[in-house]
Amino acid sequence: MKNSNFCKFPKIKVEGHHCAVGWEEISKTLGNRLNSINKPKKVVALETYHGVFEEEIISGLQLADVSVVRTQACFKTEEEISCMVQEFVTDDPVFGFVSPLELDAFIDQNKLSRLTDDILAADVAVVLVVGPGASLVYPGYDLLVYADMPRWEIQLRFRKNQIANLGAANHHDIFSYQYKRAFYVDWKVLDRHKKTLMDRWDEVLDTTIPGSPRMISGAAMKVALEATINRPFRVIPFFDPGPWGGQWLKEVCDLDRSAVNYAWGFDCVPEENSLMFDFNGNTVEIPSVNLVYAHPRSLLGNKVFDAFGAEFPIRFDFLDTMEGGNLSLQVHPLHEYMKENFGMPYTQNESYYFLDAGDEAFVYLGLKEGTDTSKMWEELEVANEFGEPFDAEKYVEKWPVRKHDHALIPAGTIHCSGADSVVLEISATPFNFTFKLWDWGRTGLDGHPRPISLEHGKNNVVEERKTHWTSHHLLNQVEIVGFGDGWREERTGLDEHSFIETRRHWFTQPVTHHTNGIVNVLNLIEGREAIVESPDNAFEPFVIHYAETFIVPAAVGTYIVRPFGESEGKQIGTIKASVRTENLGDFMG
């Protein structure tokens, strides 16, 4: 295998704006802004997203004659908040229900009144209100600073017991509970609040790397987001080990060779990935979901936005089992079940595109003909409760797979990717709705069994999807839809139950693509590198490398992909996903 050319930190250059680096320069920048305000006392609302280290900010800022007020002081008690969020967190070990709460529901109005009095009475030059809801605590602020945090970094901080949930002090709770509560409550609440503030940011603070703060003006952030929406771009990928993880991602993506494995690679999950902007050599990292919130129509397209709102509906990620093990035997919830039980408007239809495969690679997909599912559930219950082995091949069809095969997995289909393959998972984006039925008797990396969701599974496995049906509907449903000099376009899926369309292109010559007003997501599935260009020079040429995923906003319109560098004169391939806009209402709640 050649040396990796996979770019782990793709950057978007922004001209004409300055980035303040380090607490000294950040403090000077804020001080200058405050000095320009002709008032004896100024109030800075420093809003923080979940997971921000507030103490680092407070100790790092060097402002003269300042009084610090923490928004936590006006929150309801931890017990009150825990009671309020319990109906959304639920007692299920994995799943909850999407909370409709707003941030002001966490605030005790009596405490807020007293805190407001303290701010008004403070005999200082600057009052710094710090924490989630700072702008709610004192709406008459003079300067609004927003300290953001990507969800992936939040998860890492959870694992290190460095942070707690919103309004809680549960730093040492297990990660699965903290993540679940954040997913169903904290992030939903804070994202709703963030959306109301984005047009009002005076400064944006990046403290993703502890001890290395960066700050840009709100105006610079607007320019950066506007520049991104008019060109192809990549988000910053992240990678995670797992009990079944493999060794392929280490080599292809140039990851830590000493790590035990890498099971997942998330290369296009805008709600959890980041964007990185380059301001004359200084980088600023923000959650990539901010782009979705700021420019949903330009990014997604009008029809997609009308159906999904400001949500990015397509997800690309890697599942690496090369020299690893099988994934769990699993199923995803049916559409109505998802709405009724979890409050999500659409479900996780997906597909496995085999980016690489060993000689013995396989996928479990669909039930076998003649399967007695009542017997299957009985044996699964015994296996999970008593640690008995479960013979998956007795009930679930096992199919050999090769590189570039495409298996379609509509919700309700029992499935499992086997060892010695690398899957590019192309799916809808409701995140973690996987009902594990059997995990091969193993534990997670933490030594504890991973949660099994057998009752959910019973309610969602579609029994009619057996061997004959699966072979005719879910495996390699390839249809040539176009060809020309040096190129061929194939439709590879997904299935009729999914709103995602995928097209594969094989080419030695330039291929012209059209977004047709709908966001496109592509991955270079074959070839060392390619270049993405605008036919009218609307954006700078954009080089992509093997296995990299990139997003083309709906607003881009026409773009060209051609072999580049070492791949010139050779056949290379891309797979492209987009949203089918016809009958979208059938997929939405």
> Residue 500 belongs to a domain with what CATH number?
2.60.120.10
In a domain, 233, yes or no: no
Place of tokens 């249809």: 479
Is the separation of the CB atoms in 541 and 461 below 8 Å? no
Name the average pLDDT for the chain.
95
Asked whether the predicted pLDDT for residue 588 surpasses 70, the reply is no
pLDDT exceeding 70 applies to what percent of the chain?
A: 98
Does 248 share its domain with 198? Answer: no
Q: What is the pLDDT of residue 587?
A: 59
In a domain, 452, yes or no: yes
CA–CA dist 293, 356 (Å, integer): 35
Q: What is the pLDDT of residue 88?
A: 97
Quick count: other Cβ atoms within 10 Å of Cβ 561? Answer: 26
pLDDT exceeding 90 applies to what percent of the chain?
A: 90
DSSP line for 376-408: HHHHHHHHHHH-----GGGTEEEEE--TT-EEE
**473, 495, 517 - which closes a domain:** 473
Quick count: other Cβ atoms within 10 Å of Cβ 19? Answer: 21
Q: What is the pLDDT of residue 177?
A: 95
Is the separation of the CB atoms in 347 and 332 below 8 Å? yes
CA–CA dist 275, 234 (Å, integer): 8
**228, 248, 272 - which closes a domain:** 228
Does 435 share its domain with 505? Answer: no
Quick count: other Cβ atoms within 10 Å of Cβ 529? Answer: 18
Asked whether the predicted pLDDT for residue 219 surpasses 70, the reply is yes
**426, 457, 473 - which closes a domain:** 473
Does 214 share its domain with 337? Answer: no
Asked whether the predicted pLDDT for residue 17 surpasses 70, the reply is yes
Q: What is the pLDDT of residue 431?
A: 62
In a domain, 7, yes or no: no
In a domain, 151, yes or no: yes
Asked whether the predicted pLDDT for residue 1 surpasses 70, the reply is no
In a domain, 5, yes or no: no
Asked whether the predicted pLDDT for residue 589 surpasses 60, the reply is no
CA–CA dist 358, 350 (Å, integer): 22
Rounded to an integer, the average pLDDT of 182-199 is: 97
Q: What is the CATH number of the domain that holds 184?
A: 3.40.50.300
Q: What is the pLDDT of residue 430?
A: 64
Q: What is the pLDDT of residue 498?
A: 85
Quick count: other Cβ atoms within 10 Å of Cβ 426? Answer: 30
Q: What is the pLDDT of residues 102-151, one digit of tens each?
A: 999 999 999 999 999 999 999 999 999 999 999 999 999 999 999 999 99
Does 288 share its domain with 356? Answer: yes
Rounded to an integer, the average pLDDT of 298-315 is: 94
Place of tokens 């079940």: 337
Residues forming a β-bridge with 411: none
Q: How confident is the model at residue 49 (pLDDT cuts 50, 70, 90)?
A: very high
In a domain, 6, yes or no: no
Q: What is the pLDDT of residues 230-289, one digit of tens each?
A: 999 999 999 999 999 999 999 999 999 999 999 999 999 988 999 999 999 999 999 999
Report how many domains make up the chain: 3
Does 289 share its domain with 385? Answer: yes
Does 167 share its domain with 120? Answer: yes
Whether the bond between 101 and the residue before it is cis, its omega within 30 degrees of 0, is no
CA–CA dist 487, 573 (Å, integer): 9
Report which of 255, 254, 236 is spatially closest to residue 9, judged by C-alpha positions.
236
Rounded to an integer, the average pLDDT of 396-416 is: 97
In a domain, 2, yes or no: no
Does 280 share its domain with 150? Answer: no
CA–CA dist 63, 124 (Å, integer): 11
Rounded to an integer, the average pLDDT of 374-392 is: 95
In the sheet with 396-400, reading across from the earlier edge strand, the strands are: 396-400, 362-367, 415-417, 329-331, 435-438
Does 398 share its domain with 466? Answer: yes
Asked whether the predicted pLDDT for residue 416 surpasses 60, the reply is yes
Q: What is the pLDDT of residues 151-167, one digit of tens each?
A: 999 999 999 999 999 99
Does 244 share its domain with 222? Answer: no
Does 495 share its domain with 539? Answer: yes
- The domain in which residue 540 lies consists of 479-587
What length is written for the chain? 589
Q: What is the pLDDT of residue 136?
A: 97
Burial class (CB in 10 A: 0-12, 13-18, 19+), 488: middle
Place of tokens 């879910």: 474
CA–CA dist 104, 106 (Å, integer): 5
Asked whether the predicted pLDDT for residue 418 surpasses 70, the reply is yes
CA–CA dist 156, 181 (Å, integer): 15
Q: What is the pLDDT of residue 133?
A: 98
CA–CA dist 190, 187 (Å, integer): 5
Q: Phi and psi (nearest 5°) for 25?
A: -70, -35
Ranges 54-58, 307-311, 463-467, 574-578: which has the least confidence: 307-311
Does 374 share its domain with 243? Answer: yes
Does 511 share its domain with 395? Answer: no
Q: How confident is the model at residue 585 (pLDDT cuts 50, 70, 90)?
A: low
In a domain, 299, yes or no: yes
* Segment (H or E) for 558: strand 558-563
CA–CA dist 393, 375 (Å, integer): 14
